[in-house]
Structure 1
């Protein structure tokens, strides 16, 4: 765990966050979501939050 001493605690200093947008203002298609997940897997991403 990391701690900056001012109340902010993290889990991993080396974590990277990537944003993959597959929905627009009008919604989207399942194929767009599948493409985004396939990209994430191909790039070696370990965790996905699709909420």
Structure 2
């Protein structure tokens, strides 16, 4: 979606990785953030909606 120009927000506590290797999920979040996605917890995202 980022490659297509969409704004991407990821609610991290609503995601869970498979973690074939111990840090796979953490690395995936870091990769998404580095690519331009905004990472939120649900509580933080809800605050942006008020």
Q: What is the TM-score of this pair, normalised by structure 1?
A: 0.36
Q: Which has the larger radius of gyration?
A: 1
Higher strand share: 2
User: Relative contact order: is structure 1 or structure 2 higher (C-alpha 8 Å, sep ≥ 6)?
Assistant: 2
